Amino acid sequence: MNERIKELIEECTSHIENMDGDWDEYFAKETFAELIIKECIYLVEKNKPDEIQRKEFPTDFIEGWENNSEVVIEDLMLHFGVNE
């Protein structure tokens, strides 16, 4: 399993002491799903063209990429109901 997924699982897992003095494990499924989607959005944002690429590619290519990446981010957020 991917190391980042393991980290997200750990982040969404808590241990709660019950009345018997034992520990119950609680996994926040909705939080985990939201974090996965936020990771996807982060990757789209991270891969937007940087200043060097802006000089190497035609302006219309860069603008098209940026517009498309914004659409992908918005679609992900709307489809999964995730807020930034």
How many structural domains comprise the chain? 1
Rounded Cα–Cα distance for residues 78 and 84 (Å): 11
Let me know if 34 is exposed, middle or buried by CB neighbors in 10 A (0-12, 13-18, 19+).
middle
What is the per-residue pLDDT across 1-40, written as a single tens digit (0 to 9) for each? 789 999 999 999 998 888 888 889 999 999 999 999 999 9
What is the span of the domain harbouring residue 36?
3-80
Predicted TM-score (pTM) of this structure: 0.68
Mean pLDDT of the chain: 84
Quote the pLDDT of residue 28: 95
Distance CA 82, CA 84 (A): 7
Q: How far is CA 26 from CA 23, 31, 68, in A?
A: 10, 12, 38
